[in-house]
């Protein structure tokens, strides 16, 4: 049995190495392209219906057991909605004044963002990685590091690996993911690093800087990502004695990702 | 030895579960490497089960969230260490408790390899939840394999 195993081990290693080398150098990405092509349509169907099933079961569950909580949340949402409507009105006025000043000073208008609609066909989340696969690739002008957002300008992540027809999105809570962010009204700059389970750790927030729970976290625009994209809210602020920086974690808005329709922001 | 059609069904169920579980927000560990560890620990025909695991692993590798080949390399390393442990320490002959202990050790080995590119504190932070899920999966899969193979569990 011993010699039989080592012989098999050697032969299987040769076969697998051949596949890996051909996939890397000869017919680049043929294996992954083939896999994703087979799984694309069933995957889109699965994620589409999974999102609907999750919404439906959440509605049934919460409406049965948490009626008073829903009523209170509803009132809070109405108040917040009114505040946001007045904010939108104020911003529209500022936008009009801005346009007028640009024309007066002959400053060109900023480019509008170009969005590429994409469908999710696979969610891949485990202890070490948090990614998803979408059905757009280099043929659709997608490139590595482009931002991926959900409806409502909520940042989901950035393109990590881009194939011909598909791309892998590195979600914000993946340990390999980092983003430059601004916190709260004061606009404190920090570095958001994924720590899994829909959480990011906000690094480089000094002890002097004032951050509190539920402060809004948005992108700062200082890195590759466009600015003012929503990330989440601060869930925990800690201070260890003797440390220069605070321990801050934020919960992401869109976790877990159940919306099958995302957008890639093209440069 | 597990029959090929049972193997195929279990792999398919695991593939679907790995695609569906992330939507619940409950995922802490990949299920396929756990299945590989349990199968290889208890297999009576190691060679056949090993190459089946590697071939299936090539499919799961495309959905691991890492570059293609990373998960396959981990499966190879696991396969070799489990084989050496079975030969040198005769773990397949031992009690269910020692089998469980070795299973936990191999899960820690798999987690450590998988998190090689991540900060060390992340491995320590993720281990308790990963082990809890692994134990639930161990009992579930052991029960399924008892019904579908002629191996002794």
- pLDDT-based confidence at A237, cuts 50/70/90? very high
Q: Is the pLDDT of residue A85 over 90?
A: no
What Cα–Cα distance (Å) separates residue A82 from each residue in A86, A90, A258? 6, 13, 28
In terms of pLDDT, which residue wins out, A121 or A102? A121
Render pLDDT for B94-153 as a digit per residue (tens, 0 to 9): 677 888 888 889 988 888 888 877 777 777 777 787 888 888 888 888 887 777 665 544
Cis peptide before A256 (omega within 30 of 0): yes
Strand A154-162 relative to strand A178-183, pairing: unpaired
Q: Which of A2, A46, A255 sits opposite B19 (nearest CB)?
A: A46
- Of residues A210, A255, A249, A257, the one with CA closest to residue A233: A249
Per-residue pLDDT at A204 = 92
Please tell me if residue B130 touches chain A, with a CB cutoff of 8 Å.
Answer: yes
- pLDDT-based confidence at A60, cuts 50/70/90? low
Distance, CA of A206 to CA of B59 (rounded, Å): 45
Print the SS3 string covering A67-129. Answer: HHHHHHHHHHHHHHHHHHHHHHHHHHHHHHHHHHHHHHHCCCCCCCCEEEEEEEEEEEECCCC
- pLDDT-based confidence at A2, cuts 50/70/90? low
**Cβ atoms of residues B33 and B71 within 8 Å:** yes
Distance, CA of B91 to CA of B80 (rounded, Å): 14
Across the range A83-100, mean pLDDT stands at 76
Across the range A236-265, mean pLDDT stands at 86
A124 and B29 within 8 Å at the Cβ level: the answer is no
Shortest distance, CA B97 to any CA of chain A (angstroms): 26
Query: What mean pLDDT, rounded, does chain A reach?
Result: 84
A184-196: b (≥16 Cβ within 10 Å) or e: beeebebbbbbbb
- Virtual CA dihedral for A50, A53, A54, A55, nearest 10 degrees? 120
Q: Is the pLDDT of residue A155 over 80?
A: yes
Span of A200-204, A237-241, B47-51 with lowest mean pLDDT:
A237-241
Task: Enter the pTM of the model.
Answer: 0.82
B115: its two tokens: 């998190």
A51 and B119 within 8 Å at the Cβ level: the answer is no
What part of A 190-219 touches B (C-beta under 8 Å)?
195-198
Q: Which of A5, A24, A124 sits opposite B83 (nearest CB)?
A: A5
Q: Is the pLDDT of residue B48 over 90?
A: no
**Cβ atoms of residues A176 and A161 within 8 Å:** no
Per-residue pLDDT at B153 = 44
Shortest distance, CA A139 to any CA of chain B (angstroms): 20
**Taking CB atoms and an 8 Å cutoff, what residues of chain B touch A257?**
22-23
What part of B 43-102 touches A (C-beta under 8 Å)?
46-47, 50-51, 54, 58-59, 62-69, 72, 76, 79-80, 83, 87
Render pLDDT for A43-59 as a digit per residue (tens, 0 to 9): 888 887 776 666 666 66
Of all residues in chain A, the one with the smallest CA distance to B31 is A126
Shortest distance, CA A186 to any CA of chain B (angstroms): 30
Render pLDDT for B56-81 as a digit per residue (tens, 0 to 9): 999 999 888 888 888 899 999 999 99
Distance, CA of A74 to CA of A155 (rounded, Å): 25
Per-residue pLDDT at B152 = 47
Q: Is the pLDDT of residue A69 over 60?
A: yes
Please tell me if residue B108 touches chain A, with a CB cutoff of 8 Å.
Answer: no
Which of A116-130, A131-145, A241-255, B121-135 ranks highest by mean pLDDT? Answer: A131-145
Render pLDDT for A4-22 as a digit per residue (tens, 0 to 9): 788 888 888 888 888 888 8
Place of tokens 């070795």: B102
Quick one: what percent of chain A has pLDDT higher than 70?
A: 87
- pLDDT-based confidence at A144, cuts 50/70/90? very high
Per-residue pLDDT at A56 = 63
Per-residue pLDDT at A45 = 84
Of all residues in chain B, the one with the smallest CA distance to A131 is B65
DSSP codes of every residue in A11-24: HHHHHHHHHHHIII
Of all residues in chain B, the one with the smallest CA distance to A120 is B19
């Amino acid at each position: 049995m011993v010699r039989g195993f080592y012989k098999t081990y050697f032969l299987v290693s040769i076969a697998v190495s051949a596949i890996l080398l051909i996939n890397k150098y000869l017919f680049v990405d043929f294996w992954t392209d083939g896999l994703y092509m087979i799984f694309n349509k069933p995957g889109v169907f699965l994620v589409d219906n999974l999102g609907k099933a999750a919404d439906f079961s959440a509605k049934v569950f919460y409406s049965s057991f948490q009626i008073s909580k829903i009523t209170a949340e509803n009132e809070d949402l109405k108040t917040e909605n009114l505040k946001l409507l007045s904010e939108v009105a104020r911003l529209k006025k500022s936008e009009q004044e801005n346009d007028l000043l640009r024309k007066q000073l002959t400053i060109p208008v900023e480019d509008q963002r170009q969005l590429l609609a994409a469908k999710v066909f696979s969610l891949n989340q485990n202890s070490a990685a948090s990614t998803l696969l979408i059905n757009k690739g280099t043929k659709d002008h997608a490139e590595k590091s482009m931002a991926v957002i959900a409806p409502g300008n909520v940042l989901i992540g950035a393109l990590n690996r881009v194939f011909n027809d598909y791309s892998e999105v590195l979600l914000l809570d993946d340990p390999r993911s980092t983003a430059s962010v601004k916190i709260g009204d004061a606009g404190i700059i920090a570095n958001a690093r994924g720590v899994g389970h829909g959480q990011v750790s906000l690094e480089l927030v000094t002890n002097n800087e004032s951050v509190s729970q539920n402060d809004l976290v948005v992108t700062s625009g200082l890195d590759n990502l466009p600015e003012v994209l929503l990330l989440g809210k601060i869930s925990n602020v800690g201070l260890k004695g003797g440390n220069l920086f605070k321990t801050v974690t934020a919960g992401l808005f869109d976790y877990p990702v159940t919306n099958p329709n995302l957008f890639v922001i093209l440069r | 030895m597990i029959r090929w059609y049972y193997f195929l069904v279990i792999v398919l169920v695991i593939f679907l579960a790995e695609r569906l579980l992330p939507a619940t927000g409950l995922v802490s560990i990949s299920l396929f490497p756990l299945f590989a560890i349990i199968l290889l620990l208890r297999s009576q025909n190691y060679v056949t089960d090993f190459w089946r695991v590697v071939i299936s692993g090539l499919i799961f590798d495309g959905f691991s969230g890492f570059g293609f080949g990373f998960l396959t390399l981990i499966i190879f390393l696991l396969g070799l260490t489990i084989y050496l442990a079975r030969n040198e320490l005769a773990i397949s002959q031992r009690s269910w408790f020692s089998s469980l202990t070795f299973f936990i050790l191999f899960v820690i080995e798999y987690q450590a390899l998988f998190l090689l590119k991540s900060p060390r504190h992340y491995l320590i932070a993720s281990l308790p939840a990963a082990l809890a899920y692994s134990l639930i999966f161990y009992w579930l899969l052991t029960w399924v394999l008892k019904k579908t193979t002629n191996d002794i569990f």
